[in-house]
Amino acid sequence: MDDLVYPRERVLGVFTLLFGLLAWLLLVIGTFGAALLLLVLGFVVYLFAQSALVSRIQGNGVALSQSQFPDLHAQLVACCERLHITRLPRAYVLNGDGGLNAFATRFLRSQYVVLLSDVVDAMRHHPDGVRFYIGHELGHLRMKQLHWQFVRWPVLWLPLVGAAYARARESTCDRHGAACSSAPHNAARALAALAAGGRRWQQIDLETYRQQAQQASGFWMSFHELTSPYPWLTKRVWRVLDRDAAPPPRHALAYALAALVPYAGRLGGAFGVLILVYVVGVLAAIGLPAYRDHTARAALEQVVEQTRSARDALGEFYRKNERVPESLQEAGIPEYLPGGGELALDTDQMVLTVTTPHGALVFTPDEADDGRIEWSCTGGPDLSPAQVPPACHGQPLPTGNI
């Protein structure tokens, strides 16, 4: 039965599982265990959401059995035998409100296959079609594709990876559906009903529809498929008709653009672009202020060093004359630093203020017991704490040999 597994699913399944576990481990360690609360919260959300879905199925659907829709139940049993599934899942028919589809789900240890009424009605003269849909959903259960999804979640949003894994799973399930059908063209015709609708599907020319897949090699079709959880229906029909024939390749440049778009699940690539814009916006909102603070802090660190000679000159003038100079010029100090900062002197307290394009620094003197002048530095009112250099947080600054 290994031939029913699309080759890329195994590789991508192992990759997403291992890296998902690694991501959770790093999250738990990095948050000192707080990420475990997210796991618990995730289980609680799953419990309520899945219980609501299963309750709706059981409360509104029709359970298949030997006495209730025995023809559909017999097809389910035959498909399980064909796929070597020993534990028969619970199966239901549910009003599809016009939707041609089926789905598989699970809740705790119970597994479910749900056929929407519209697909059952559309395939009423095509038993192979019903078996295809049953087999497809059994493929999800047989391959345990509904397990470990929350573990994989941290890496499923990755561009290309998450969508590729989802498409590989669908291709595997199409193989399971085809295996339950008596012939590939019967399975392909059932699949084509998703394109042509509940009546016209019987008249569709399968070979012409398969050749329509050639259009998928264009840039935009390639891009949107690369960001989608489903292959194009034309390609799915192509693979069902001939599993060994490779469908037309995608446009190479589409991979470059798709590699920038986070996977957005069934919402598709357009929503993924919105996610990308949102992520970039958040990073910009965080990163730009941080970069601005870093730039200001680095420039002001140079100002601290550039004012060393001015502070030493003021200290030397005060030691020799026992008074504060009346101006910077009297102490032989230029009014501007090499980097463009402007110096100003408070002649009462000998406080030195340096104004720069990045903000102001204030240097305050203090006479030590041995007569030496020690300086401390603080940021001006126009600086945020993140922009103030480490040397300007209250500790004395180093001086010359005065």
Q: What is the pLDDT of residues 254-291, one digit of tens each?
A: 999 999 888 877 555 455 455 555 555 655 666 677 78
For the stretch 18-40, pLDDT in tens is 999 998 898 888 877 777 887 88
| pLDDT at residue 263, as a whole number | 86
- The answer to whether the predicted template modeling score (pTM) of the entire model surpasses 0.75 is no
The side-by-side arrangement of strands in the sheet containing 102-107 is 62-63, 90-94, 110-116, 102-107
Using alpha carbons, select from 382, 369, 372, 318 the residue that is nearest to residue 345. Answer: 318
Residue ranges of the chain whose pLDDT lies below 70: 1, 266-287, 369, 394-395, 398-402
Query: Phi and psi (nearest 5°) for 373?
Result: -95, 120
CB atoms within 10 A of CB 41: 10
Locate the domains of the chain by residue range.
2-206, 297-397
Q: What ranges in 83-126 are assigned the alpha helix state H?
A: 117-122
The candidate with the shortest Cα–Cα distance to 130, out of 113, 150, 115, is: 115
**Domain over 297-397 is classified CATH 3.30.700.10:** yes
Question: Which pLDDT does position 280 carry in this prediction?
Answer: 56
